[in-house]
Amino acid sequence: MGWLRRRRQRNATMAAALEAAKAAQGATMTGNEPWLAHGLRDGESATCASCGRVQRVKLVARARVMVAYPGALDGVIRICGGCGRLLCADCTTGDRPNLRECDQCGRPVVVPMA
């Protein structure tokens, strides 16, 4: 019965992600958001604001919703959507491992966009 519980949890997580994606589709981007106005270049190194670990910058195409598979963003610096701090994956917190949050302000952490 453990597999059934895990499947239900996975389905609930997926449903929550789809709801968040629907909400994001209606939002307009101004270009002033931290994940767009960061001044980073693809391939350069950036330092985590929390632990000081150096990781690479991987800019993704500008999008409202991004779906990544596990391990796709290992070693890639992220940026807080609220305060703009650069963070590594290990320094982000959250109850749900698929939704990374800033350790300072609690806002979602995403990959910088081009």
**In this predicted structure, what is the pLDDT of residue 110?**
85
The predicted-structure confidence for 46-100, as pLDDT tens digits, reads as follows 999 999 999 999 988 877 677 777 777 788 899 988 888 999 888 887 666 666 8
Burial of 61-70, coded b for 16+ CB within 10 Å and e otherwise, reads eeeeebeeee
User: Does the pLDDT value for residue 22 go beyond 80?
Assistant: no
Percent of the chain whose predicted confidence (pLDDT) is above 90: 18
> Rounded to an integer, what distance in angstroms lies between the CA atom of residue 69 and that of residue 51?
25
**44, 73 contact by CB (below 8 A):** no
Strand ranges inside the chain, DSSP E: 45-47, 54-56, 78-80, 86-87, 109-110
> Rounded to an integer, what distance in angstroms lies between the CA atom of residue 18 and that of residue 24?
10
> Rounded to an integer, what distance in angstroms lies between the CA atom of residue 54 and that of residue 3?
38
Span 6-22, average pLDDT? 75
> Rounded to an integer, what distance in angstroms lies between the CA atom of residue 2 and that of residue 11?
14
Q: What are the residues whose beta carbons fall under 8 Å from the beta carbon of 63, sequence distance 6 or more?
A: 113
